[in-house]
Chains A and B, each alone.
Chain A
Amino acid sequence: GQQVMQIPQYQHVQEGEDFTTYCNSSTTLSNIQWYKQRPGGHPVFLIQLVKSGEVKKQKRLTFQFGEAKKNSSLHITATQTTDVGTYFCAGPNSGYSTLTFGKGTMLLVSP
């Protein structure tokens, strides 16, 4: 079945440093989604990318969808302590209404 892999599993940065997490799917995706889970909370939808090569920005967050629609990245510029949490990517299973989630990247930001 479809697999979605994320790297790194964990990253610890100093406030102000940049951060990037990568997501790779074993199959071509019709779209890819990103979620953020704050400590003690539940994952919350951030964004969906649909087009090949698409780039979207949300303030300091930049999301990219690969040309082959099998990989994606989330880049945070100048991290802040409010960015702490686990970031998940997810892609829909072909022909089904279900999503496959990556294991997530945990980001810790030290002031």
Chain B
Amino acid sequence: DGGITQSPKYLFRKEGQNVTLSCEQNLNHDAMYWYRQDPGQGLRLIYYSQIVNDFQKGDIAEGYSVSREKKESFPLTVTSAQKNPTAFYLCASSSSAEAFFGQGTRLTVV
């Protein structure tokens, strides 16, 4: 089945620790994205990538980092510099015609 997979679904971390969220797609899409969603809010763009080995900051990139070493993979690291990391994180990939979202990772920092 073609699709986009995020893991894990739920993640708990202690404050001050870095954590990496996984995102893999087998849709052969060039473009991939990371969004953050807080309760009752819309999507806020963290980073996006149009091609392997290249990525751009979105609206709220501070405290996050990404890499795009392979077309299929776009992992997001939430660093200790992110002041309010507890949120729902969504990864997506797209052609110009349609975007596919992963199931999301719900990160809780305690």
Tell me if B96 counts as interface (CB < 8 A to partner A).
yes
Chain B residues whose CB sits within 8 angstroms of the CB of A86 once the complex forms: 42
CA distance in complex: A17, B22 (Å): 41
User: Tally of A-B residue pairs with Cβ under 8 A?
Assistant: 63
CA distance in complex: A101, B101 (Å): 13
Closest residue to B45 on the A side, CB-wise? A101
Q: Could you tell me if A98 and B103 are in contact, using CB atoms closer than 8 angstroms?
A: no
Q: Could you tell me if A101 and B97 are in contact, using CB atoms closer than 8 angstroms?
A: no
CA distance in complex: A106, B38 (Å): 13
Q: Binding site of A, secondary structure by majority: helix, strand, loop or mixed?
A: strand
- Quick one: CB contact mask for B41-61 with A, threshold 8 Å, 1 for yes? 111010010100000000000
Question: Closest Cβ of chain B: how far from A21's Cβ, in Å?
Answer: 12
Which residues 2-27 of B have a CB within 8 angstroms of A?
A: none
Chain A residues whose CB sits within 8 angstroms of the CB of B95 once the complex forms: 97
Tell me if A59 counts as interface (CB < 8 A to partner B).
no
Could you pull out 6 A-B pairs where Cβ atoms are within 8 angstroms?
Answer: A30-B96, A43-B101, A48-B98, A92-B97, A98-B94, A103-B43
Give the interface size class of chain A: 20 to 34
Tell me if A64 counts as interface (CB < 8 A to partner B).
no
Closest residue to B98 on the A side, CB-wise? A45
Chain A residues whose CB sits within 8 angstroms of the CB of B30 once the complex forms: 97
Tell me if A65 counts as interface (CB < 8 A to partner B).
no
CA distance in complex: A43, B4 (Å): 13
A35: which of B41, B45, B99 is its contact (CB, 8 Å)? Answer: B99
Chain A residues whose CB sits within 8 angstroms of the CB of B99 once the complex forms: 33, 35, 43, 45, 90, 99, 101
Most A CB contacts (10 A, CB to CB) among B35, B42, B102, B104 go to B42
CA distance in complex: A106, B97 (Å): 23
With A96-B50, A98-B48, A104-B42 in contact, is A45–B100 under 8 Å at CB?
yes
Q: Could you tell me if A42 and B101 are in contact, using CB atoms closer than 8 angstroms?
A: yes
